[in-house]
Chains A and B, each alone.
Chain A
Amino acid sequence: DAKTTQPTSMDCAEGRAANLPCNHSTISGNEYVYWYRQIHSQGPQYIIHGLKNNETNEMASLIITEDRKSSTLILPHATLRDTAVYYCISHSGYSSASKIIFGSGTRLSIRP
């Protein structure tokens, strides 16, 4: 499974868009990019995932570069409740026997 790299921490003003980058330069063709976040002392929460195309849901947008070596999670209007550690992981799907490797994530702080 591909290893991902993310900045250790970021901050963003409340109401602005938060853009969280992730590098996954060794990702293979059948591996998806997943994003989760973990609010202090809770279990991780799924945000979004994608393979090649950009994706959007009620929580966020995922932009994947054409070469699939990096992606950006966009929280369009950050609120204080978005303060969390954000994890980008890549693997070939939960229905396959693939290891799921979390990195250290990005600690996102939203300032009022």
Chain B
Amino acid sequence: DAGVTQSPTHLIKTRGQQVTLRCSPKSGHDTVSWYQQALGQGPQFIFQYYEEEERQRGNFPDRFSGHQFPNYSSELNVNALLLGDSALYLCASSQDQSRQYFGPGTRLTVT
């Protein structure tokens, strides 16, 4: 049984560009959350998707948007990239209150 997978592993973009990151949840999980982790900081909650709807959102601008598909996989889109968007982007899936499973992350570098 595969765990949470994310793609791509690494990505380099230029300021002003747009990026799409992808996440496939652990089998049987229906909830996907996205986090941004800057170097030396804890993960910051971006938003959570459940039943293809954004259920909760952290303090991130509208440039950050997402989507969840019927198979529960999810995408994170970031528009008009800024240098400060450089970070490790983590996806986590869950089913109930027991735990959250994290993927390995996508390292985004904005130049």
**B65 is an interface residue with CB less than 8 A from chain A:** no
**B15 is an interface residue with CB less than 8 A from chain A:** no
- Pick 6 A–B contacts, CB within 8 A, sort by A: A46-B100, A49-B99, A94-B95, A98-B56, A99-B56, A103-B42
Pair A101/B45 contact, Cβ less than 8 Å = yes
Pair B43/A102 contact, Cβ less than 8 Å = yes
Interface residues on B, range: 20 to 34
Interface size on A, residues (CB 8 A): 24
Pair A95/B101 contact, Cβ less than 8 Å = no
A-B contact count (CB 8 A): 65
B108–chain A nearest beta-carbon distance, Å: 14
A35–chain B nearest beta-carbon distance, Å: 10
**A10 is an interface residue with CB less than 8 A from chain B:** no
The residue on B at minimum CB distance from A96 is B97
A56–chain B nearest beta-carbon distance, Å: 15
Query: What are the 5 tightest A-B residue pairs by CB atom distance, in nearest-first order?
Result: A43-B102, A93-B97, A102-B42, A94-B94, A46-B99
B12–chain A nearest beta-carbon distance, Å: 17
Q: B81-98: which residues lie under 8 A (CB-CB) from chain A?
A: 88, 90, 92, 94-98
